[in-house]
Amino acid sequence: MSISRRNILKTLALGVPALQFAPSFALGAEGKEKIPAILPGPFVGTRASLGKYEIPDWFRDAKFGIWAHWGPQSAVEAGDWYARNMYMEGSRQYKHHIENYGHPSKFGFKDTIPNWKAEKFDADYLLGLYQKAGARYFMSMGVHHDNFDLWNSKYNRWNAVNMGPKKDIVGMFAKAARKNGMRFGVSDHLWISYKWFSTSKGSDKTGTFAGVPYDGADPKNFEYYGKCEEIFNKLDWTENGIPQSWKEHWFNRMKDLVDNYEPDLLYCDGHMPFEDLGMDLLAHMYNKSAAKHGGKTQAVYTSKRTEDTGTNGICVFDVERGVVETVWPYAWQTDTCIGDWHYNRDRIGKYKSVKTVIDLLVDIVSRNGNLMLNMPLPASGMLDNDELHVLDGITQWMAVNSEGIYATRPWKIFGTGPLSAITKNDKEVNSSQQFNEKNRKDFSFEDIRFTTKDKNLYAFFMGWPNATQLTIRALATGSEQKTGNIEKVELLGIGKVDFTRDNEGLKVTLPSRKPCEHACTLKIYGTDLV
């Protein structure tokens, strides 16, 4: 899109007529779909303008969200990226598909969509459970890389209202979240779909079906699988090779989503894509929110690229399956899952433990972050028993300790203890903090994490010691943290506890019983603590 055309678009009047269904991928020359004008308001689609964005307090206070990473790929219940990997000869999901459905030249991913029936889906029930578990915001899948919209999409007939469950999943989740007093988010994974789905155009290299094209290579299926001519067996996560027509189509679908469901949070699986169009989308979303909230946007957008965040940043930094190295100067978010992203029957009984989730939550909050936890739904739309067990454990822990989580801010340091540093091996995984979660170990009582609120200090000790006394060395008299006077200490769920303090640390006498399983919280009163 030329600069002149882009400037013109910013000044167009509103009221662009709704377009009819446009082919999902079958876009030819630029301009096949009109790019509707963005809403006027405090922002225009430039980095200079969007650099004035401020992260809203609701997000900084919320700390914990739950995500339903759910869609047609959940129908097969064989894990994440099924729609791509089933076209990769020899992969686990390719073998699963052959055994259960037949060869992908005859029975492709599109043919599995009717199996996603969502027959037990009850958005109100699920959101009630999540709210009780302490989630302050909830995120629905909007569209995964599989190019299937979970809303009543104006620009894509491959959507959940027309096919599969024949329900407006995003709309139902949005209504249930707001009914339960939760902020509502939607995830966008669409921008890379043009490349991601290209494996559907390949063929086997060996065996009976060697050279027989998969169903995505049939031109009559280009509408869904795309027209990408290069097959990206090794996915290239750059925007190179993605045509302008697809970028504009992405913009239209995302704007349609924002306009109809007004999400409080829009999550991007990757960096903010397609620079000019991406900034237009952010400006539109922020302006729409500002118009609804007295001139100040309450909307949040996430990006996994640090250049999009921080000082003069345009959105919130998101870390996938990882944590940042220290206290981050701005609110940020980790997204992770108790198992696979999409439901996988083989992972039942192998989910993250309640302790692992709680360790993550406290550690992330101490570093000024939020935890977005995916609870993958089966095809039916109802959590399995093991997931309900994890959720119940979170619920019980939050009932005792949430005071030290919600609306808190980081202390001078996030914590101390044997596992307070990200290891060299973690950094080698990814220098931008992504995916370092896999090397984590469970915390013990020696690992301490801190938060603050209302001039009080909260100290989480991440396990129950065998001894009756707990020593927090960071709170020693004369410590480098230069903490002021400590006047009273409470153990949440128990009450006031005795303590002494010297140059070795704050020494707390613990009661004979634990207030909860997993991390326990000391509320520390005094002067000049924070």
272 and 308 Cβ atoms separated by less than 8 Å: yes
DSSP string, 468-508: SEEEEGGGSTT-TT---EEEEEEETTTEE--EEEETTEEEE
Q: State how far the Cα of 86 lies from the Cα of 106, in Å rounded to an integer.
A: 13
Contact between residue 522 and residue 489 where contact means Cβ atoms under 8 Å apart: yes
Paired tokens of 391: 């959720």
Residue 441: the pLDDT is 85
Distance CA 521, CA 338 (A): 24
DSSP label of 159: B
DSSP string, 296-352: S---EEEES-GGGSSTT-SSEEEEET---SS--SS-EEEEEESS-SS-BGGGTT-SP
Domains for the chain: give ranges and CATH numbers.
3-84+115-202+270-404 (3.20.20.80), 444-527 (2.60.40.1180)
The first and second tokens of residue 379, run together, are: 């095809």
Of 311, 398, 324, which Cα lies nearest the Cα of 367?
Answer: 324
Q: Which of 390, 524, 394 is nearest to 461 (CA)?
A: 524
- Taking residue 82's Cβ as centre, other Cβ atoms within 10 Å add up to 27
Give per-10-residue mean pLDDT for the chain (530 aa): 38 32 39 74 96 97 98 97 98 98 98 97 98 98 98 97 98 98 98 97 97 97 95 93 96 98 97 96 98 97 94 95 92 96 94 96 98 98 97 98 98 90 40 66 94 97 95 92 92 98 96 96 95
206-211: Cβ within 8 A, 24+ apart:
206/89, 209/103, 209/105
The angle at the Cα of 180, spanning 176 to 181, to the nearest 5 degrees, equals 120
Give the span between the Cα atoms of 215 and 252, in whole angstroms. Answer: 27
Pairing type for strands 499-502 and 456-461 reads unpaired
Distance CA 30, CA 375 (A): 39
So what's the pLDDT on residue 430? 38
**Size of the chain, expressed as the number of residues it contains:** 530
Print the SS3 string covering 362-392.
HHHHHCCEEEEEECCCCCCCCCCHHHHHHHH
Of 98, 173, 104, 101, whose CA–CA distance to 141 is shortest? 173
Q: How many CA atoms lie within 13 A of 114 on its CB side?
A: 4
CA distances from 10 to 7, 70, 72 (A): 5, 35, 36
* Phi-psi region at 218: left, alpha or beta (left = phi > 0; alpha = psi -120 to 50): beta
Is 27 strand, coil or helix?
Answer: coil
C-alpha closest to that of 334 among 530, 139, 54, 172: 139
Q: Using DSSP, state whether 518 is helix, strand or coil.
A: coil
Q: Please choose, from the candidates 116, 140, 440, the residue with its C-alpha nearest in 3D space to the C-alpha of residue 264.
A: 140
Coil, strand or helix at 157 = coil
> Would the CA dihedral through 303, 16, 257, 261 be positive or negative?
positive
pLDDT of residue 480: 82
Q: Find residue 178's DSSP bridge partners.
A: none
Instruction: Provide the token pair at 124.
Output: 């109100």
Burial group, residue 110, by CB count within 10 angstroms (0-12, 13-18, 19+): buried
Q: Tens digits of per-residue pLDDT, 362-378?
A: 999 999 999 999 999 99
